[in-house]
Homo-oligomer: A and B are copies of this chain.
């Protein structure tokens, strides 16, 4: 069933999408403000379920691309992602019937809503990552045979770039990243244009609704002083993301972060409240791998989320600060994203990590995660 997404949904969606962003995807605050303004001017957005799409419908996903460390400082004026969509439509000589997120995490849950509000197109309730990932080939669309090319990039001065690398989505990422860096570290894109049939075959379904329901669950738990992490677990249980495990509770003691080659790269260290245990987190825009006392407890493509200890408000990689009191959780990624084909595109080795992927729910529990006490 299609439904209307209005301003009243945006705070919950932003919160839920930041959790699904696993530290990356860009802070959704700015995206939320842009969408609020667009809905105020143009009215609410129609969200369609992927099952409702005609097989021959033509869908052009839209997104922001760049380092989260830059995204928080370089604010779009709002027309850029529409510019990317129009440039791709013009290149293809075909109009889109709908737009869609490429990643449901972070600001990229919001950018397609901005496009939808400004153009009147509906947005499909699905995406190509089921979370956030740093690179454009790391999409289920790519894993299951939809080429990202041709793709369009739009800059803040109405520059447009159309890249066509055939079926080589990694080379597309490489060239698009080069342009994004030269546009100042952030740009807007339209890519992986596809039919409704391809959406149904390759996308992670209903991830906009998922973000919304996670965000709402956290808000409602806070209102009644319930544990918001348990609320996230309950919201996820009936979905494709059925397992949530608390990996660690403690404080941020060190953050090392650099904006390098267009990415925010680095690591953060956390110690447990009793000082007996340590978690190390490595990230490239998104959280990639978490180790507790030298043992891997969760890796991509499972989701590693750093949540503010009391409120479960998600903390992005660029927002990590010394002294923050946090709960780190691991969430199982959908089965579609754990196949050998999927792991070949966004498994740990694709990030240069010498770690096997093991589902988070199959790994040993950690003492600092099991501990039920919250921060003293």
Which A106-164 residues have a C-beta within 8 angstroms of B?
A: 157-164
Sorting the interface of chain A by its residue count into under 10, 10 to 19, 20 to 34 or 35 or more gives: 20 to 34
Is there a chain B Cβ closer than 8 Å to A182's Cβ?
yes
Residue from B159, B168, B175, B181 in contact with A161 in the complex, judged by beta carbons closer than 8 Å: B175
With a CB–CB cut-off of 8 A, which chain B residues contact A159? 163-166, 168, 171, 175
Total copies of the chain: 2
Residue from B91, B157, B171, B178 in contact with A178 in the complex, judged by beta carbons closer than 8 Å: B178
Residue from B157, B166, B174 in contact with A182 in the complex, judged by beta carbons closer than 8 Å: B174
- Interface pair A158/B163, CB less than 8 Å apart: no
Q: If A159-B164, A162-B91 touch, does A175 touch B179 (CB 8 Å cutoff)? A: yes
Q: How far is the CB of A179 from chain B (nearest CB, A)?
A: 6
Which A331-349 residues have a C-beta within 8 angstroms of B?
A: none
Residue from B160, B179, B183 in contact with A179 in the complex, judged by beta carbons closer than 8 Å: B179
Quick one: closest B residue to A163, CB to CB?
Answer: B161
With a CB–CB cut-off of 8 A, which chain B residues contact A162? 91, 161-162
Q: Give Cα distance in the complex from A247 to B211, angstroms.
A: 71
With a CB–CB cut-off of 8 A, which chain B residues contact A163? 159-161
Quick one: closest B residue to A181, CB to CB?
Answer: B178
Residue from B157, B174, B178 in contact with A165 in the complex, judged by beta carbons closer than 8 Å: B157
- Interface pair A161/B158, CB less than 8 Å apart: no
With a CB–CB cut-off of 8 A, which chain B residues contact A160? 163-164
Quick one: closest B residue to A159, CB to CB?
Answer: B165
With a CB–CB cut-off of 8 A, which chain B residues contact A164? 87, 159-161
Q: How far is the CB of A328 from chain B (nearest CB, A)?
A: 35
Please list the residues of chain A having a beta carbon within 8 angstroms of any beta carbon in chain B.
87, 91, 157-166, 168, 171, 174-175, 177-179, 181-183
Instruction: List 12 additional contacts besides A161-B175, A178-B179, A178-B182; criterion CB under 8 Å.
Output: A87-B164, A91-B162, A158-B166, A159-B164, A159-B165, A159-B168, A159-B171, A159-B175, A161-B161, A161-B164, A162-B162, A178-B181
Show 24 A/B contacts (Cβ-Cβ < 8 Å), sorted by A: A87-B164, A91-B91, A91-B162, A157-B165, A157-B171, A158-B166, A159-B163, A159-B165, A159-B166, A159-B168, A159-B171, A159-B175, A160-B163, A160-B164, A161-B161, A161-B163, A161-B164, A174-B182, A175-B179, A175-B182, A178-B178, A178-B179, A178-B182, A179-B179
